[in-house]
Structure 1
């Protein structure tokens, strides 16, 4: 039965995913079977992706963030995620190296996909991340992070750029790697009470 499932997934894609992720052939075939069950069309639409995120963040407004994540994963820019894009995204965000995760984070912040980040894009993503924070946790945030604007200003400050400067991928990765607080600000983690 396992062979029947692996034949449904093309050998080329299977081999490519085995080379580029830490998933085994058996895991990939299981993921593919689940993907086909959940997405019979073989593609995830932005709306379906938003529903997935809403299940992960039931106490939050996840739609804006989900839209940015979807955009960053839709590498062929066709408006859907196919199985390959889905698995690469899953690998990158769950078991990829820190370097790969930061490359993905850069693509998340590069809203217009032009190869660099502006302060306006940082503000855009910080707005979406802030909406993931449940309302009851927002008062627990440090004073200099308790609004999306303050978080964006704090994060942008770590890169030592003026408001009109641009940030390329290497600068982004270095700035985040060099500062633990910057790392914390580029994503949302629940506040521990």
Structure 2
């Protein structure tokens, strides 16, 4: 978004206000912090993973951070600029449930084909288990990535084809309090 070391222009601020749920003052504060942490104005995958690791010191968040980075990097240029960062942050921290579900669907749909295949879900859930380490104790029917994914597919995969459409994912997620709670984890924090 413009020169990395410059202030946001009036047009840039207006665009970000339209694209996010942040006010002008908040955007200016976030921009100053973003440039302090990323003087180039771009966040690399390595830098992103280091930041993510600070939030999950008891596990290994590297795989999951890679997947989250892919969703933040909406233009696919292998970096996250301020605009991409704020749009993703807006959805994950202040978006409504449907916006968060679409974002989460894109996270799980690794190949971007519009469906979440069983193996994609297993890859992400395995990364989440690795990230969480021993922090959370799950019931016996969900205590491995395979069991968790099997349970998710049993409840969401209505046509039993080992693929979830967005509609199946959204409908199933709305019925699962653990998923809706996870999607609302950052509400009000930012």
Q: How does 1:76-87 map to 2 (within 5 A)?
A: 76-87=75-86
Q: Which residue of 2 aligns with 1:170?
A: 167
Computed over aligned residues only, the root mean square deviation of the Cα atoms, in angstroms, reads 2.2
- 2-side partners of 1:185 and 1:123: how far apart? 17
Does structure 2 retain, via aligned residues, the 8 Å contact 1:133–1:188?
Answer: no
Deviation, structure 1 residue 11:
3.0
**Which string of whole-angstrom CA distances, capped at 9 and with x for unpartnered residues, describes residues 44-87 of structure 1?**
00000000110000111100110010001111011110000001
Deviation, structure 1 residue 145:
1.0
Task: For CA contacts below 8 A with separation 6 or more, give which structure has more relative contact order.
Answer: 2
Specify every segment of 5 or more residues in structure 1 that has no aligned partner in the other structure, as ranges.
1-6
Q: Which residue of 1 aligns with 2:13?
A: 14
Change (3 A) 1:163 1:47: farther
TM-score in terms of structure 2 length = 0.87
Q: Which residue of 1 aligns with 2:93?
A: 94
Change (3 A) 1:129 1:187: farther
Q: Mean alpha-carbon deviation: is it higher for 175-184 or for 140-149?
A: 175-184
Give 3-state SS (helix, strand or coil) of 1:85's partner.
helix
Specify every segment of 5 or more residues in structure 2 that has no aligned partner in the other structure, as ranges.
1-5
Change (3 A) 1:161 1:122: farther
Give 3-state SS (helix, strand or coil) of 1:8's partner.
coil
Deviation, structure 1 residue 14:
1.4
- 1-side partners of 2:174 and 2:185: how far apart? 17
- 2-side partners of 1:181 and 1:54: how far apart? 23
Does structure 1 retain, via aligned residues, the 8 Å contact 2:60–2:130?
Answer: yes
Q: Which residue of 2 aligns with 1:123?
A: 122
- 2-side partners of 1:163 and 1:127: how far apart? 22
